[in-house]
Structure 1
Amino acid sequence: MSLKIPLLVIFVCGAWQCRAYPSGAPGCKPNSLPVSEYDFIPSHGSTVDDQNLPYYVNATNSGKEWTVVIWAENSYFKGLLLRVIPLNSSNTVTGTYVTMPSDTRNCSDSDATHTNADTNHTSLMFVWRQSDAMTGDVYFKATIVHTKSTNYKITASSVPNPGTTVTPSASTQTAITMSTAPQSGISPDPECGSTKGCLSSCSGGACSYLITWQKRGDLVRFELMIMSSENRYQAIGFSSDNKMGGDSVMVCKSYGGTVTFELGHTVGTTYSNLPSLTGTGVNVLESSQTDGRVRCVIERTINSTNSYVFSLTRSWHLLRAIGPLPGGAVTYHSTRTASSSQVDFLSASLITEEQPDNLMVKIHGSFMMIAWVMFSSIGIVTARFFKDGWEGKTLMGQKVWFQIHRTSMVSVFLFTVSAFVVIFVDVGEYREVVVADDRDYLKYHPILGIVVTSLTVINPIMSLFRCAPTDKKRPLFNVAHFLVGTGAHILAAITVLFGMNIDRSNLPVEASYVMYAYMAVFVVIEITFELHRVCQKGLNSNNHVAMEMKNFGDKSEKSIQFEESPMIKKEVFLYFHMLLMVAFCVSMVVILITS
């Protein structure tokens, strides 16, 4: 009886919690429940609060309405918890969310969260209206989560103008008084499409970046704005196609607290800046940074005498790039997009960016999964544990196990080399993976991929020059063949797992879970077959019972042997292993293709 009561209590509490939080952050509390600082800590295992993540919160008020913008710089987030908090704990927060983005919900007067953990958000805007009974100052605090398996950031609304802020006890909290109205993100330009041409990324009334151009007599005024932290740049390029190379470039840089503008050009994938704006027909009107908004405003002549500043009398593809500024110098971009068509910069048109083409990435990933999750897993297990299978039968003049092994490993070679060629054609050169958070280990994905491909090519070449089975040096080949093959398989599994977590793959966290499950199952299968082989060797010396019957009269001997036949043939377990590996492979490929 004493055991049943606690179990019943646990069951009822667990069921109540499931009803209270069907989706979103568990810390999103209804009005009837007390709130706590612990509500902001996700229950995601070993993840921690990482203040270096590029996630930000801005809040402004107009009368009784507060506009709150949450955004990510060159990244995205899947989950969040947003809360309105009184600066004075004796005050009561009362109000309601009057505007909420899709895939979000409010849990109470003060709390809001996501409803779909599969959606990638770059920016979200909430409008919260305070009640007439509310008094005192507030600030907006949020937990922003990249993915469930990665770190999160707890942050609060940004600091308004000096003299109007009060800092709470937690270093990440910033209070904003009711009377202040600082800039909140980037507001959409109402002149876009009428007097100005525009390229932007806006959601819920807030933009993460905005680029405009407007013809003014013999000049064109450009405005480049982006929500960004320091030591980053936003650049636009004028290109005859939608690819980098031979382009005229304008760059707005924020480094060390100072915003500057520069011109440059590209040769292939190499960028070079112009030493001066003299003689280019370009004048800088403004370069500033306010509340995380970096802004450059310039005017340039329609026709420049400088060959690196292209004429605007013709249309160009508009390239946009964002990247870091180590030492203040423009380096390879972390994000690059292109306009969906050529742009007439003398007209007021609304431009959209091409959707990222991930076809080659999907083919690359699918080929690698087919090669290593399916074919390699089958080929390795067959060669290691089933050489004595099929009772010595042959297939096309060779033992069955050898035909399965050879077919599998040839398939590994073909799919791996094809995957390597596909991704190299896509990126055009060796390129480091740009990581938006602190998962620096993902940068080793290209290097590991090259190593795996090299081992994949080396192993069959070794096989072509193997010595005869009876040669005294054959054991050396066997060891080398085993080490290269097994090493390639282990590195390939790690490389595939890293690839699943790269932002460009855009895979949900469930894909990694499937990969973890595959790795665990494969290890269990290897251990099981190895234990079976060891036990079988021990039984082979005892599975024949010999009874010697000696006839003292005629000195004759008879031996009687009893053999145990297994109920299930050994090969059945290999077929089951094959089905498991195919199932894992198909699951991963389907997730990749449909993501």
Structure 2
Amino acid sequence: MCTVSGSGRALCLLVAVTALAVPGRALPEGAPGDGAVCSSLRPRHGSHKPQPGPAPFRLAARAAEPAGQWRVTLSGEQPFRGVLLQARAAAGDDPTPLGRFTASSDTHLIDCSGQPQSALTHSTPTSRDSLEVTWSAANSSGPVRFVATVVADYRTWWENVHSEPITVVTATRNTLRAAPLQESVASSAEEVYAGCSAAEYRCFGAPAGCEATKQCDVLFTYVTDGAEFKMRLMAAGQDDTYAAVGFSTDDKMSSDGVIVCAANDADNPPKVYYARNLDTGRDCEITSEANPESASAVQTWEKDGYFMCSFTQEADLVISDQMTIDLMAEHFLLVATGPIDASLKLRYHHSKREASAAAVNLTDASSPGAAGVPALIKAHGAFMLIAWIGTSGIGIISAQFFRGVWVGKKVLGTDVWFTIHRALMVMTALCTWIGFALISAQLGGLDFDHSHNIVGFVVFLLTIVQVFGAALRPHPDHRLRPLFAWGHRIGGVSAYLLAVTALLLAQQLAKTTLPDYWFWVVVAAVIVHLIISVLLLITDRCSSPDLSGSPQVAPDTDALLKTEAPGSPLRRAMLGFYVFSSAGFVIALVTILIVSTA
């Protein structure tokens, strides 16, 4: 304890503050390069021990140019300040470092075990979210993996953070693989999924995230040894169905090469084909014979509602004389499944498809991520929610229960209730039409493969009928006016109910990942609409039986009304509550849509 005063006390305080600050930092100039640290990769942080359990960091490597180089990336779920990184033989416990690193701006190199530039550490204790450096194989060969110790602060660090093994080969292509290429064949869908879970294969399926839930419509898995790929294509269904993976320069299928596993003959097992997609993205032509020579060791099965093709594919995928795909280069992966007939005519796959989020290097050690729900689909859903949870309900009740409110007041030359009704229903129609245009652009046309799409299309047609019917409505004194009024009301209510049904059915779409409570939020919005409607109906009947808002009352005049109906302040209050609650439901549902399908 400090007992001095004056300047001595100040010095004591400085020492105490410095002592407290030490645990919050890594060594500012990186790890020392002595033999003990190079061998153990353990920092000299006093009595502090490595953190137990899995490290919140990922170490990955991908082949780079020129041949013999890799880009090594360290990233994690939290920032880190220090790192000590080496490459070592993947097999055994030999601590001898391999190859050479190239330092980045905030790192420097260490010569470990007499090997120049064989380890890399930080040069400043700056907090960072990721680190990427270059490693050269030099004279190394065989299976290699990267090993690191990662430091968050003086007390908190993790050891043995390692990558998947890479294989250094003497060929011009250097390839990363998860395990030696084997000829084992999964005999069931469960075994295919097990290969994904155990990271034996890299996996990409549709819908997004299905690899974890084991409910893929189509699944593509692969692993490589540096010269060729072991691939599997599996899909749900057995007869007259295909599973396909395309290799594209973007996330849309156009003139791209495709590998197809076709179960188009009930009397014979599935077969592997090469195909070329045409410019439209909807037509695909087979370009090879069944089980082409460059897809060797083909094995297939059909069982338990699935079919699969397993094969070994050469790195040069020759689709046709005019198209050869280098599988060692980066490509967007596009997986799909759909119907196929006996003549090998592949039909459009509709919603059972998925694209990778970015171009994929098939030699990477991690499985690719899905692109998720396209922005056009999200925008389509948002416009439909604005139309049928927001504006339509307010427009409907304004016409049903507010003819006796704001009597004598005009907006844009017509009664207030009619101006509200017309504006909101026009907005409902416009949002519906915009939403329909967006989804049509995304799908490339009409698509009736799901009940949501069918019901939504009927709603779209009803909005056209409603808008043009209102524009051509008969004069208030015309004998057909009552018939129009009832028809217009029935059409509007039908469109509302069908639109709500379509919103509920959206939860079943393979392309979305809407949570279970989506159903109940939509139902809650409808219940609020019904409660407000019932309360307004009771108010209407009890306070003004002669002004019930029946269709016989002219929809754009208040000639029969001289004063406001009793209970008008209460009606306005209920309308205000309904407007705010509708806005709240729209905001909540749009947020759920965007967050859940990101």
Mapping of 1:209-358 within 5 angstroms?
209-214=220-225, 216=227, 220-224=228-232, 226=234, 230-231=238-239, 233-253=242-262, 258-267=269-278, 268=280, 269-274=282-287, 276=289, 282-289=294-301, 294-300=308-314, 302=316, 304=318, 306-307=320-321, 309-312=323-326, 315=329, 317-325=331-339, 330-333=346-349, 335-342=352-359, 352-358=368-374
In structure 2, C-alpha distance between the alignment counterparts of 1:525 and 1:576, rounded to whole Å: 9
Q: Does 1:399 align with 2:415?
A: yes
Matched residue, 1:502: 509
1:578 corresponds in structure 2 to 579
| Mean Cα deviation higher: 240-249 or 328-337 | 328-337
| Alpha-carbon shift at residue 293 of structure 1 (Å) | 8.4
**Residue 486 of structure 1, CA deviation:** 2.1
Partner of 1:409: 425
**Partner of residue 386, structure 2:** 370
SS of the counterpart of 1:265? strand
Mark the CA change 1:229 to 1:415 in structure 2 (over 3 Å): closer, same or farther. closer
CA deviations 1:92-129 (Å, max 9, x no partner) are: xxxxxxxxxxxxxxxxxxxxxxxxxxxxxxxxxxxxxx
* 3-state DSSP of counterpart to 2:326: coil
Deviations 1:139-191 (A, max 9, x none): xxxxxxxxxxxxxxxxxxxxxx99xxxxxxxxxxxxxxxxxxx9684436999
Number of residue pairs matched?
A: 377
SS in structure 2 at match of 1:468: coil
User: How many angstroms apart in 1 are the aligned matches of 2:249 and 2:372?
Assistant: 19
CA gap 1:191/1:564 in 2 versus in 1, 3 angstroms: closer
Q: Quick one: distance in 1 between partners of 2:517 and 2:480?
A: 47
Q: Describe how 1:121-140 pairs up with structure 2 within 5 A.
A: none
Rounded to whole Å, the distance in 2 between the matches of 1:184 and 1:449 is 37
Whether contact under 8 Å (2:332, 2:356) holds in the other structure is: yes
Give the residue type in structure 2 aligned to 1:494.
T
Measured against aligned partners, the alpha-carbon deviations of 1:389-413 in whole angstroms (never above 9, x if no partner) come to 1232223432211121122112112
Q: C-alpha displacement at 1:244, in angstroms?
A: 1.1
- Per-residue deviation, 1:567: 9.3
Aligned to 1:485: 492
**Aligned equivalents of 2:546 and 2:302: distance in 1?**
78
Closer, same or farther: CA 185–463 of 1 in aligned 2, 3 Å: closer
CA distance in 2, matches of 1:348, 1:388: 70
Equivalent residue number for residue 525 of structure 1: 532
Change over 3 Å in CA distance of 1:215–1:431 after alignment to 2: farther
Shift of 1:338: 3.1
Cα RMSD between the aligned structures? Answer: 4.1
Q: Please state whether the residue corresponding to 1:391 is helix, strand or coil.
A: coil
Q: How many angstroms apart in 2 are the aligned matches of 1:305 and 1:413? A: 47
Seen in structure 2, the aligned counterparts of structure 1 residues 564 and 238 have a Cα distance that, compared at 3 Å, is closer
- Given that 1:238 and 1:310 are in contact with CA atoms closer than 8 Å, whether structure 2 keeps it comes out as no
Q: Give the match's secondary structure for 2:488.
A: helix
Pick the aligned partner of 1:384 from 378, 382, 400.
Answer: 400
Q: Which runs of 5+ in 2 are unaligned?
A: 1-185, 206-210, 549-563
> TM-score of the superposition, structure 1-length normalised?
0.54
The 2-side partners of 1:188 and 1:417 are apart by: 42
Q: Which amino acid aligns with 2:472?
A: F
d(CA) in 1 for partners of 2:375 and 2:324?
32
TM (norm. structure 2) is 0.54
* CA deviation map 1:512-565 (0-9, x unaligned): 112122223323433443344344455899xxxxxxxxxxxxxxxxxxxxx996
Asked whether the 8 Å contact 2:317–2:324 carries over to 1, the reply is: yes
2:560 counterpart residue number: none
SS of match in other structure, 1:241: coil
Q: Distance in 2 between matches of 1:500 and 1:428?
A: 22
Structure-2 separation of matches of 1:500 and 1:204: 17
Query: How has the CA–CA distance of structure 1 residues 386 and 188 changed in structure 2, closer, same or farther, with 3 Å as cutoff?
Result: closer
Whether the 8 Å contact between 1:242 and 1:339 is mirrored in structure 2 is yes
**Which amino acid in the other structure matches residue 273 of structure 1?**
I
Segments of structure 1 that go 5 or more residues without pairing to the other structure are: 1-160, 163-181, 434-442, 542-562
Find the aligned partners of 2:583 and 2:319 in 1 and give their Cα distance.
Answer: 63
Equivalent runs, 1:6-17 vs 2, <5 Å: none
- The 8 Å contact of residues 368 and 415 in structure 1, kept in 2 or not, is answered as yes
Deviations 1:201-257 (A, max 9, x none): 77699x9752234554xxx44422548664564322122332112122112245758
Alpha-carbon distance in structure 2 between the residues aligned to 1:189 and 1:401: 60
> Does the 8 Å CA contact 2:238/2:307 hold for their aligned counterparts?
no
Cα 1:403/1:293, change in 2 over 3 Å = closer
Question: What secondary structure is seen at the aligned counterpart in 1 of 2:324?
Answer: coil
Amino acid at match of 1:223: M
Matched residue of 1:486: which SS? helix
- Aligned partners of 1:393 and 1:400 also within 8 Å: yes
Contact kept in structure 1, 2:262 and 2:340, CA below 8 Å = no
In the aligned structure 1, how far is the partner of 2:212 from the partner of 2:300?
A: 23
State percent identity of aligned pairs.
Answer: 24
Distance 1:530 1:564 in 2: 13
In 2 relative to 1, CA 402–284 (structure 1 residues): closer, same or farther, beyond 3 Å?
same
- Conserved? CA contact 2:382–2:590, under 8 Å: yes
| 1:390–1:571 contact (8 Å) kept in structure 2 | no
- Aligned-residue offset at 1:382: 0.6
Contact kept? 2:257, 2:276, Cα under 8 Å: yes
Q: Distance in 1 between matches of 2:213 and 2:252?
A: 31
Structure 1 residues 263 and 480, CA, compared in 2 at 3 Å: closer, same or farther? same
**Cα 1:183–1:339 shift into 2, 3 Å:** closer
